[in-house]
Structure 1
Amino acid sequence: MDATVAVGAVRDVGPQTVALELESPDGFDAEPGQFIKLAATVEGEEYARFYTLSSPGVDDTFEVTVGVDPEEAGPFSQFLLDLEVGDELDISGPFGQSYYEGESRVVVLAGGPGVGPAVGIAEAAVDDGNEAAIVYQTDAPAHGNRLDALREAGASVVVVDGAIDEEVAAAVTGADDEQVFVYGFAAFVEDATAALDVAGIDPDDAKVENFG
Protein backbone atom coordinates (compact mmCIF):
# COMPACT_ATOMS: atom_id res chain seq x y z
CA MET A 1 0.00 0.00 0.00
CA ASP A 2 1.11 3.56 -0.77
CA ALA A 3 -0.56 6.40 1.15
CA THR A 4 -0.08 9.80 2.70
CA VAL A 5 -0.77 9.83 6.43
CA ALA A 6 -0.97 12.47 9.13
CA VAL A 7 1.03 12.50 12.35
CA GLY A 8 -1.33 12.00 15.28
CA ALA A 9 1.19 12.28 18.12
CA VAL A 10 4.91 12.65 18.76
CA ARG A 11 6.26 11.31 22.06
CA ASP A 12 9.76 11.43 23.51
CA VAL A 13 10.52 7.87 24.60
CA GLY A 14 14.25 7.99 25.29
CA PRO A 15 17.52 9.78 24.50
CA GLN A 16 17.28 11.15 20.95
CA THR A 17 14.31 8.82 20.39
CA VAL A 18 10.71 9.63 19.52
CA ALA A 19 7.64 7.50 18.85
CA LEU A 20 5.59 8.71 15.90
CA GLU A 21 1.91 7.82 16.01
CA LEU A 22 0.53 7.87 12.47
CA GLU A 23 -3.06 7.63 11.31
CA SER A 24 -3.81 4.29 9.63
CA PRO A 25 -5.07 4.74 6.06
CA ASP A 26 -8.16 2.84 4.93
CA GLY A 27 -7.36 -0.79 4.29
CA PHE A 28 -3.98 -0.71 6.02
CA ASP A 29 -3.15 -4.00 7.68
CA ALA A 30 0.14 -4.91 9.34
CA GLU A 31 1.41 -7.18 12.10
CA PRO A 32 3.77 -6.35 14.99
CA GLY A 33 7.30 -6.77 13.68
CA GLN A 34 6.64 -5.77 10.09
CA PHE A 35 8.11 -2.56 8.72
CA ILE A 36 7.08 0.32 6.49
CA LYS A 37 8.86 2.88 4.34
CA LEU A 38 8.55 6.53 5.34
CA ALA A 39 9.26 9.14 2.68
CA ALA A 40 9.28 12.93 2.46
CA THR A 41 10.93 15.81 0.63
CA VAL A 42 13.34 17.75 2.84
CA GLU A 43 14.98 20.92 1.58
CA GLY A 44 14.25 19.89 -2.00
CA GLU A 45 15.69 16.40 -1.65
CA GLU A 46 13.62 13.20 -1.57
CA TYR A 47 14.35 10.79 1.28
CA ALA A 48 13.02 7.39 2.28
CA ARG A 49 13.87 5.08 5.20
CA PHE A 50 12.44 1.86 6.62
CA TYR A 51 11.07 1.69 10.17
CA THR A 52 9.62 -1.28 12.01
CA LEU A 53 6.24 -0.97 13.70
CA SER A 54 6.42 -0.49 17.45
CA SER A 55 2.67 -0.72 18.13
CA PRO A 56 0.81 -3.96 18.89
CA GLY A 57 -1.91 -3.10 16.37
CA VAL A 58 -2.86 -0.76 13.52
CA ASP A 59 -6.63 -0.34 13.89
CA ASP A 60 -6.90 3.46 13.96
CA THR A 61 -3.27 4.48 14.33
CA PHE A 62 0.10 2.77 14.29
CA GLU A 63 3.47 3.69 15.69
CA VAL A 64 7.10 3.65 14.63
CA THR A 65 10.04 4.47 16.84
CA VAL A 66 12.77 6.72 15.50
CA GLY A 67 16.15 6.83 17.22
CA VAL A 68 18.91 9.11 15.98
CA ASP A 69 22.62 9.22 16.71
CA PRO A 70 23.37 12.98 16.94
CA GLU A 71 26.78 12.43 15.37
CA GLU A 72 25.31 10.64 12.35
CA ALA A 73 21.91 12.31 11.94
CA GLY A 74 21.12 13.40 8.41
CA PRO A 75 18.45 15.83 7.19
CA PHE A 76 15.70 13.18 7.07
CA SER A 77 16.38 11.89 10.57
CA GLN A 78 16.25 15.41 11.94
CA PHE A 79 13.07 16.04 9.95
CA LEU A 80 11.41 13.04 11.63
CA LEU A 81 12.50 14.19 15.08
CA ASP A 82 11.03 17.63 14.41
CA LEU A 83 7.62 16.45 13.16
CA GLU A 84 4.52 17.87 14.80
CA VAL A 85 0.91 16.76 15.03
CA GLY A 86 -0.83 17.29 11.67
CA ASP A 87 2.32 17.02 9.55
CA GLU A 88 2.14 14.45 6.76
CA LEU A 89 4.36 11.63 5.54
CA ASP A 90 4.22 9.25 2.62
CA ILE A 91 4.25 5.58 3.55
CA SER A 92 4.60 2.29 1.70
CA GLY A 93 4.14 -1.21 3.02
CA PRO A 94 3.95 -3.19 5.13
CA PHE A 95 6.98 -5.33 4.38
CA GLY A 96 8.77 -8.20 6.10
CA GLN A 97 8.13 -11.78 7.20
CA SER A 98 9.57 -11.59 10.73
CA TYR A 99 6.41 -10.77 12.63
CA TYR A 100 4.18 -12.04 15.43
CA GLU A 101 1.69 -14.70 14.40
CA GLY A 102 0.00 -15.54 17.68
CA GLU A 103 2.71 -17.86 19.02
CA SER A 104 2.06 -19.00 22.61
CA ARG A 105 5.46 -17.71 23.78
CA VAL A 106 7.61 -15.01 22.20
CA VAL A 107 11.21 -14.18 23.05
CA VAL A 108 12.44 -10.93 21.49
CA LEU A 109 16.16 -10.15 21.40
CA ALA A 110 16.52 -6.44 20.70
CA GLY A 111 19.56 -4.30 20.11
CA GLY A 112 19.25 -0.50 20.12
CA PRO A 113 16.33 0.46 17.84
CA GLY A 114 15.11 -3.14 17.98
CA VAL A 115 13.25 -2.13 21.13
CA GLY A 116 10.47 -0.75 18.93
CA PRO A 117 9.33 -4.09 17.50
CA ALA A 118 10.18 -5.74 20.83
CA VAL A 119 7.58 -3.78 22.78
CA GLY A 120 5.01 -4.06 20.00
CA ILE A 121 5.35 -7.84 19.74
CA ALA A 122 5.44 -8.38 23.50
CA GLU A 123 2.35 -6.22 24.04
CA ALA A 124 0.46 -8.06 21.32
CA ALA A 125 1.39 -11.41 22.87
CA VAL A 126 0.37 -10.32 26.38
CA ASP A 127 -2.91 -8.93 25.03
CA ASP A 128 -3.56 -12.38 23.50
CA GLY A 129 -2.91 -14.10 26.82
CA ASN A 130 0.44 -15.48 25.66
CA GLU A 131 3.88 -15.36 27.29
CA ALA A 132 6.52 -12.79 26.38
CA ALA A 133 10.18 -12.18 27.18
CA ILE A 134 12.49 -9.40 26.03
CA VAL A 135 16.28 -9.23 26.20
CA TYR A 136 17.24 -5.66 25.30
CA GLN A 137 20.88 -4.66 24.82
CA THR A 138 21.50 -0.93 25.15
CA ASP A 139 23.32 1.71 27.18
CA ALA A 140 20.49 4.23 26.69
CA PRO A 141 17.11 2.52 27.15
CA ALA A 142 14.03 3.76 25.31
CA HIS A 143 10.34 2.96 25.90
CA GLY A 144 10.96 2.63 29.64
CA ASN A 145 7.29 3.12 30.56
CA ARG A 146 6.14 0.39 28.21
CA LEU A 147 8.85 -1.99 29.39
CA ASP A 148 7.75 -1.38 32.98
CA ALA A 149 4.12 -2.00 32.03
CA LEU A 150 5.10 -5.28 30.39
CA ARG A 151 6.88 -6.38 33.55
CA GLU A 152 3.78 -5.55 35.57
CA ALA A 153 1.70 -7.60 33.12
CA GLY A 154 3.90 -10.65 33.74
CA ALA A 155 6.38 -10.45 30.87
CA SER A 156 10.08 -11.02 31.47
CA VAL A 157 12.07 -7.92 30.54
CA VAL A 158 15.85 -7.72 30.91
CA VAL A 159 17.90 -4.67 29.90
CA VAL A 160 21.63 -5.25 29.66
CA ASP A 161 24.61 -3.14 28.59
CA GLY A 162 27.03 -5.79 27.45
CA ALA A 163 27.10 -9.47 26.54
CA ILE A 164 23.69 -11.15 26.40
CA ASP A 165 24.59 -14.86 26.44
CA GLU A 166 23.39 -15.52 30.00
CA GLU A 167 20.21 -13.50 29.55
CA VAL A 168 19.37 -15.29 26.29
CA ALA A 169 19.94 -18.70 27.86
CA ALA A 170 17.60 -17.76 30.70
CA ALA A 171 14.90 -16.40 28.38
CA VAL A 172 14.58 -19.24 25.88
CA THR A 173 12.95 -22.51 26.89
CA GLY A 174 12.84 -24.49 23.65
CA ALA A 175 9.16 -25.18 24.28
CA ASP A 176 6.80 -26.03 21.45
CA ASP A 177 5.40 -22.91 19.78
CA GLU A 178 8.03 -20.68 21.36
CA GLN A 179 9.18 -18.17 18.75
CA VAL A 180 12.42 -16.21 18.99
CA PHE A 181 12.70 -12.84 17.24
CA VAL A 182 15.91 -10.86 16.68
CA TYR A 183 15.88 -7.16 15.76
CA GLY A 184 18.89 -4.89 15.53
CA PHE A 185 21.94 -3.85 13.56
CA ALA A 186 24.27 -6.44 12.06
CA ALA A 187 26.71 -6.65 14.98
CA PHE A 188 23.87 -7.29 17.43
CA VAL A 189 22.23 -9.86 15.17
CA GLU A 190 25.53 -11.73 14.99
CA ASP A 191 25.90 -11.70 18.79
CA ALA A 192 22.26 -12.67 19.35
CA THR A 193 22.31 -15.61 16.96
CA ALA A 194 25.59 -16.80 18.50
CA ALA A 195 23.98 -16.62 21.95
CA LEU A 196 21.03 -18.68 20.69
CA ASP A 197 23.42 -21.30 19.37
CA VAL A 198 25.17 -21.49 22.75
CA ALA A 199 21.78 -21.85 24.44
CA GLY A 200 20.93 -24.83 22.23
CA ILE A 201 18.43 -23.00 20.00
CA ASP A 202 18.85 -23.24 16.23
CA PRO A 203 19.33 -19.63 15.01
CA ASP A 204 17.72 -20.64 11.70
CA ASP A 205 14.43 -21.06 13.57
CA ALA A 206 14.47 -17.42 14.73
CA LYS A 207 12.68 -14.64 12.91
CA VAL A 208 15.43 -12.13 12.23
CA GLU A 209 15.35 -8.55 10.99
CA ASN A 210 18.81 -7.11 10.34
CA PHE A 211 18.78 -3.29 10.26
CA GLY A 212 22.07 -3.22 8.39
Structure 2
Amino acid sequence: MPTLTVAAVADVGPQTVAIELDAPASFDAAPGQFVLVRRPGDGDAGYYTISSPDAAETFEITVGSPEGESPEESLGTWLAARDVGDVVEIEGPLGNVEYRGEGDVAVYAAGPGIGPAVGVAERAVEAGHDATVVYRGENPPHRARLDALRDAGATVAVVDALDELDADHPTVPTPAVYVFGFDDFVEDVKALLEDADRDPAEAAIESFGPA
Protein backbone atom coordinates (compact mmCIF):
# COMPACT_ATOMS: atom_id res chain seq x y z
CA MET A 1 0.00 0.00 0.00
CA PRO A 2 1.62 3.33 -1.07
CA THR A 3 2.59 5.82 1.63
CA LEU A 4 1.61 9.41 0.80
CA THR A 5 2.63 12.68 2.45
CA VAL A 6 0.15 15.19 3.86
CA ALA A 7 0.49 18.45 1.90
CA ALA A 8 -2.15 20.53 3.75
CA VAL A 9 -4.83 20.27 6.41
CA ALA A 10 -7.71 22.74 6.76
CA ASP A 11 -10.79 23.03 8.95
CA VAL A 12 -13.83 23.12 6.65
CA GLY A 13 -16.73 22.72 9.08
CA PRO A 14 -17.80 21.37 12.47
CA GLN A 15 -15.60 18.33 13.30
CA THR A 16 -14.54 18.24 9.64
CA VAL A 17 -11.18 18.76 7.96
CA ALA A 18 -9.95 18.60 4.38
CA ILE A 19 -6.66 16.74 3.99
CA GLU A 20 -4.59 17.32 0.86
CA LEU A 21 -2.21 14.51 -0.06
CA ASP A 22 0.64 14.39 -2.56
CA ALA A 23 -0.50 12.32 -5.52
CA PRO A 24 1.76 9.65 -7.02
CA ALA A 25 2.64 10.13 -10.69
CA SER A 26 0.45 7.17 -11.64
CA PHE A 27 -2.57 8.32 -9.59
CA ASP A 28 -5.36 8.78 -12.16
CA ALA A 29 -8.39 9.75 -10.09
CA ALA A 30 -11.52 11.85 -10.45
CA PRO A 31 -14.03 13.29 -7.97
CA GLY A 32 -16.57 10.66 -7.00
CA GLN A 33 -14.00 7.91 -6.67
CA PHE A 34 -12.66 6.93 -3.25
CA VAL A 35 -9.52 5.66 -1.56
CA LEU A 36 -8.82 3.23 1.25
CA VAL A 37 -6.88 5.05 3.98
CA ARG A 38 -4.84 3.31 6.67
CA ARG A 39 -2.59 4.66 9.39
CA PRO A 40 0.92 3.24 8.92
CA GLY A 41 1.62 0.08 10.89
CA ASP A 42 -2.01 -0.27 11.96
CA GLY A 43 -4.92 -2.40 10.83
CA ASP A 44 -7.40 0.48 11.20
CA ALA A 45 -8.62 1.59 7.76
CA GLY A 46 -11.53 3.45 6.20
CA TYR A 47 -12.87 4.63 2.85
CA TYR A 48 -12.85 8.33 1.94
CA THR A 49 -14.24 9.86 -1.23
CA ILE A 50 -12.06 12.26 -3.20
CA SER A 51 -13.28 15.82 -2.71
CA SER A 52 -10.94 17.76 -5.02
CA PRO A 53 -11.91 18.52 -8.64
CA ASP A 54 -8.79 16.72 -9.89
CA ALA A 55 -5.72 14.84 -8.71
CA ALA A 56 -2.96 16.32 -10.86
CA GLU A 57 -0.26 16.89 -8.21
CA THR A 58 -2.30 16.54 -5.03
CA PHE A 59 -5.76 15.31 -4.15
CA GLU A 60 -8.07 15.93 -1.24
CA ILE A 61 -10.22 13.85 1.07
CA THR A 62 -12.76 15.27 3.51
CA VAL A 63 -12.65 13.70 6.97
CA GLY A 64 -15.12 13.86 9.83
CA SER A 65 -13.71 13.51 13.32
CA PRO A 66 -16.29 12.25 15.85
CA GLU A 67 -16.61 14.52 18.87
CA GLY A 68 -15.29 13.03 22.08
CA GLU A 69 -13.25 10.25 20.49
CA SER A 70 -9.47 10.09 20.77
CA PRO A 71 -7.11 9.47 17.83
CA GLU A 72 -6.57 5.97 19.24
CA GLU A 73 -10.32 5.25 19.07
CA SER A 74 -11.18 6.77 15.68
CA LEU A 75 -9.39 6.81 12.33
CA GLY A 76 -11.18 10.04 11.46
CA THR A 77 -9.93 11.74 14.62
CA TRP A 78 -6.43 10.44 13.97
CA LEU A 79 -6.50 11.80 10.41
CA ALA A 80 -7.83 15.16 11.61
CA ALA A 81 -4.81 15.45 13.90
CA ARG A 82 -2.28 15.03 11.04
CA ASP A 83 0.20 17.79 10.24
CA VAL A 84 1.90 18.72 6.98
CA GLY A 85 4.69 16.20 6.36
CA ASP A 86 2.97 13.30 8.13
CA VAL A 87 2.30 10.17 6.10
CA VAL A 88 -0.71 7.91 5.56
CA GLU A 89 -1.15 4.71 3.58
CA ILE A 90 -3.49 4.85 0.59
CA GLU A 91 -4.97 2.26 -1.73
CA GLY A 92 -6.82 3.35 -4.84
CA PRO A 93 -8.44 5.10 -6.55
CA LEU A 94 -11.43 2.80 -6.21
CA GLY A 95 -15.04 2.86 -7.39
CA ASN A 96 -16.90 3.31 -10.65
CA VAL A 97 -18.62 6.62 -9.82
CA GLU A 98 -16.52 9.43 -11.25
CA TYR A 99 -16.87 12.72 -13.09
CA ARG A 100 -14.28 13.98 -15.57
CA GLY A 101 -15.96 17.08 -16.96
CA GLU A 102 -18.30 15.42 -19.48
CA GLY A 103 -21.26 17.85 -19.19
CA ASP A 104 -23.83 19.55 -16.97
CA VAL A 105 -24.41 17.93 -13.58
CA ALA A 106 -26.77 17.94 -10.62
CA VAL A 107 -25.26 16.58 -7.42
CA TYR A 108 -27.35 15.56 -4.41
CA ALA A 109 -25.47 15.15 -1.14
CA ALA A 110 -25.98 14.66 2.58
CA GLY A 111 -23.52 14.16 5.43
CA PRO A 112 -20.04 13.25 4.18
CA GLY A 113 -21.36 13.37 0.62
CA ILE A 114 -20.62 17.09 0.57
CA GLY A 115 -16.95 16.33 -0.17
CA PRO A 116 -17.41 14.63 -3.54
CA ALA A 117 -20.32 16.96 -4.32
CA VAL A 118 -18.14 20.08 -4.31
CA GLY A 119 -15.39 18.26 -6.18
CA VAL A 120 -17.75 17.19 -8.97
CA ALA A 121 -19.38 20.62 -9.20
CA GLU A 122 -16.04 22.42 -9.33
CA ARG A 123 -14.83 20.08 -12.09
CA ALA A 124 -18.00 20.86 -14.08
CA VAL A 125 -17.66 24.63 -13.67
CA GLU A 126 -13.98 24.52 -14.61
CA ALA A 127 -14.96 22.67 -17.80
CA GLY A 128 -17.53 25.34 -18.67
CA HIS A 129 -20.63 23.34 -17.73
CA ASP A 130 -23.62 24.10 -15.51
CA ALA A 131 -23.61 22.60 -12.03
CA THR A 132 -26.22 22.26 -9.31
CA VAL A 133 -25.49 21.13 -5.76
CA VAL A 134 -28.29 20.15 -3.41
CA TYR A 135 -27.22 19.48 0.18
CA ARG A 136 -29.69 18.14 2.73
CA GLY A 137 -28.79 19.26 6.23
CA GLU A 138 -27.64 22.24 8.25
CA ASN A 139 -24.24 23.94 8.29
CA PRO A 140 -22.61 21.97 5.47
CA PRO A 141 -18.83 21.64 5.49
CA HIS A 142 -17.02 23.35 2.60
CA ARG A 143 -19.27 26.40 2.92
CA ALA A 144 -16.59 28.62 1.35
CA ARG A 145 -16.40 26.37 -1.71
CA LEU A 146 -20.19 26.28 -2.01
CA ASP A 147 -20.21 30.09 -1.92
CA ALA A 148 -17.48 30.20 -4.57
CA LEU A 149 -19.49 27.82 -6.76
CA ARG A 150 -22.54 30.05 -6.43
CA ASP A 151 -20.45 33.08 -7.35
CA ALA A 152 -19.20 31.20 -10.42
CA GLY A 153 -22.77 30.65 -11.62
CA ALA A 154 -23.60 27.27 -10.11
CA THR A 155 -26.93 26.65 -8.40
CA VAL A 156 -26.50 25.77 -4.72
CA ALA A 157 -29.38 24.73 -2.44
CA VAL A 158 -29.03 23.85 1.24
CA VAL A 159 -32.32 22.39 2.47
CA ASP A 160 -33.70 20.54 5.48
CA ALA A 161 -35.72 18.23 3.20
CA LEU A 162 -35.74 17.53 -0.52
CA ASP A 163 -39.39 18.54 -0.82
CA GLU A 164 -38.28 22.13 -0.15
CA LEU A 165 -36.86 22.29 -3.68
CA ASP A 166 -38.84 24.42 -6.10
CA ALA A 167 -38.61 25.97 -9.55
CA ASP A 168 -35.65 28.08 -8.43
CA HIS A 169 -33.59 24.89 -8.13
CA PRO A 170 -33.89 23.13 -11.51
CA THR A 171 -32.07 19.97 -10.52
CA VAL A 172 -33.89 17.05 -12.09
CA PRO A 173 -33.76 18.13 -15.79
CA THR A 174 -29.96 18.04 -15.73
CA PRO A 175 -28.74 15.14 -17.90
CA ALA A 176 -26.21 13.75 -15.41
CA VAL A 177 -27.23 13.16 -11.78
CA TYR A 178 -24.81 12.21 -9.00
CA VAL A 179 -25.87 11.14 -5.50
CA PHE A 180 -23.62 10.86 -2.42
CA GLY A 181 -25.01 9.99 1.01
CA PHE A 182 -26.27 7.33 3.38
CA ASP A 183 -28.91 4.78 2.38
CA ASP A 184 -31.96 6.75 3.58
CA PHE A 185 -30.90 9.84 1.65
CA VAL A 186 -30.21 7.82 -1.49
CA GLU A 187 -33.72 6.36 -1.35
CA ASP A 188 -35.21 9.85 -0.99
CA VAL A 189 -33.33 11.07 -4.06
CA LYS A 190 -34.44 8.02 -6.04
CA ALA A 191 -38.06 8.86 -5.16
CA LEU A 192 -37.49 12.46 -6.25
CA LEU A 193 -36.14 11.29 -9.60
CA GLU A 194 -39.04 8.89 -10.12
CA ASP A 195 -41.52 11.71 -9.41
CA ALA A 196 -39.81 13.65 -12.21
CA ASP A 197 -40.09 10.68 -14.59
CA ARG A 198 -36.37 9.99 -14.39
CA ASP A 199 -34.96 6.49 -14.07
CA PRO A 200 -32.87 6.33 -10.84
CA ALA A 201 -30.79 3.59 -12.46
CA GLU A 202 -29.34 6.26 -14.76
CA ALA A 203 -27.94 8.24 -11.82
CA ALA A 204 -24.38 7.76 -10.56
CA ILE A 205 -24.93 6.79 -6.92
CA GLU A 206 -22.40 6.25 -4.14
CA SER A 207 -24.14 5.08 -0.97
CA PHE A 208 -22.20 5.09 2.31
CA GLY A 209 -24.43 2.46 3.91
CA PRO A 210 -26.77 2.85 6.90
CA ALA A 211 -26.61 6.17 8.72
CA contact (8 A) 1:135 1:168 kept: no
The aligned residue for residue 35 of structure 1 is 34
The aligned residue for residue 185 of structure 2 is 188
The residue matched to 1:171 in structure 2 has which SS? coil
1:206 pairs with 184, 195, 203, which one? 203
Gaps of at least 5 residues in structure 1 are none
What is the distance in 2 between the residues matched to 1:127 and 1:49? Answer: 30
- Equivalent residue runs for 1:48-197 within 5 Å: 48-70=45-67, 74-161=73-160, 163-167=161-165, 170-174=169-173, 178-197=175-194
- TM-score using structure 1 length: 0.91
CA contact (8 A) 1:168 1:195 kept: no
- Residues 88-130 of structure 1: CA deviation (Å, up to 9, x unaligned): 0010111111111433210000011101000000000000001
What is the distance in 1 between the residues matched to 2:19 and 2:79? Answer: 8
Q: Which moved more, 1:198-207 or 1:115-124?
A: 198-207
CA contact (8 A) 1:103 1:179 kept: no
Structure with bigger strand share is 1
Tell me the number of residue pairs that the alignment of Structure 1 and Structure 2 aligns. 206
- Residues 171-205 of structure 1: CA deviation (Å, up to 9, x unaligned): 33535xx1000001111111111111112221111
What is the distance in 2 between the residues matched to 1:84 and 1:144? Answer: 23
Q: 1:184 to 1:20 in 2, by over 3 A?
A: same
Root mean square deviation of aligned Cα: 1.8
The residue matched to 2:144 in structure 1 has which SS? helix
CA contact (8 A) 2:4 2:88 kept: yes
The residue matched to 1:119 in structure 2 has which SS? helix
CA contact (8 A) 1:18 1:67 kept: yes
